[in-house]
Structure 1
Amino acid sequence: MKQVKLTTEAVFWNGAPLRRRNPSQALRDFHLGLLHEFYVGPEYRFSVVDDVGLACLAATAVCLHFQRRWHGILPEQRAAVFVTYSGSLVTDLVYQKSMGAGGRSSPRVFVQTLPNMVAGQVAACYAVRGEHFVLIQDGPRSSAIAETVEMCLKYGPAKVCLVAWVEQTETELAVELLLCYADAKDQAAGLLGSASMGRSYRMQ
């Protein structure tokens, strides 16, 4: 199983730190730096993407950098399952504070960090044109995640599924990513941590 985890301090590859953020570096600059180093694809307007979306795009760039197999799979055979509990609480609180003070805030500020918006940004940037699912779960170990991934790979046209857990609070940012392939026969030990997986695919 090959897994990418992005936090406010570093990006990890298979549990080991791959790149660490300089304490004086803005979090957004750290993510843009990862994209500059690892992103391979058509030009994309990263500068206009919200912070949580940018984090997901950066984590995906790192994940796919080590996955040559991904690039040989048709976009229509790529699926995505995004999972969150509260999305981006940071943007929610800013929006609520502005409205509570009688100010004005564009709905775009709120909508842009909804999980389906983030999933759409990743799909557009990395050519994921197969099935998309966005789940609201209380953690990355939910059995519903494994069941949804299995449904994509066992009963749909997808040959690979990008699975992501996304959560942002006022103090923490967590993005966990992995790829599940449909044609492997061995059983994986866990999904985004320790959720049980089906026997019809594995994560790499």
Structure 2
Amino acid sequence: MAKVLMITGDFTEDYETMVPFQTLLACGHEVAAACPGKAAGETVKTAIHDFEGDQTYTEKPGHIFALNATWAEIDAGAYDALVIPGGRAPEYLRLDESVLVAVRHFFDAGKPVAAICHGAQLLAAAGVLEGRTCSAYPACAPEVRAAGGTYAEIEVTEAVTDGTLVTAPAWPAHPAWLKQFMALL
């Protein structure tokens, strides 16, 4: 089974954090959920993003998610794969150079990476999208393109795999996204 690193942070999207974390564990994988500046046992707040007919998603308070790894102790080389949830966390996590170094490691080593929704912001900031096809929440399409990627305009329930990168627009794609990611594990 695979050792998976999940990079998350405050106001990560609730489903995009909880569902892959629990699903991967249930399938026998080891998942280390870590956040820069926080230690194992500390928590991050999540946000629930929903699609209720407005021009963009709505945001409501989510659950408290307990981290099980300490970011300062993370060695990306010790992990087989990476998961990047969406929500608002990627917006500020992309400002942390240690996060970008970790993301680049997985691409440089050819390891599987699953990013969903606003997780594409970390991919764009890390400079790993050049020549790749990437889905994301539609508001991130300009960032994917500016980073040299091809934005995949797919249904919100679909995912796309480009080599070792699996991406999806939002949590309604979990079945397709996780199925494609686990096929790479």
TM above 0.5, one fold?
Answer: no
TM-score range, shorter chain: 0.3 to 0.5
TM, length-normalised to structure 1: 0.32
The structure with the largest alpha-carbon Rg is 1
Question: Scaled by the length of structure 2, what TM-score is found?
Answer: 0.35
Higher relative contact order (CA 8 A, sep 6+): 1
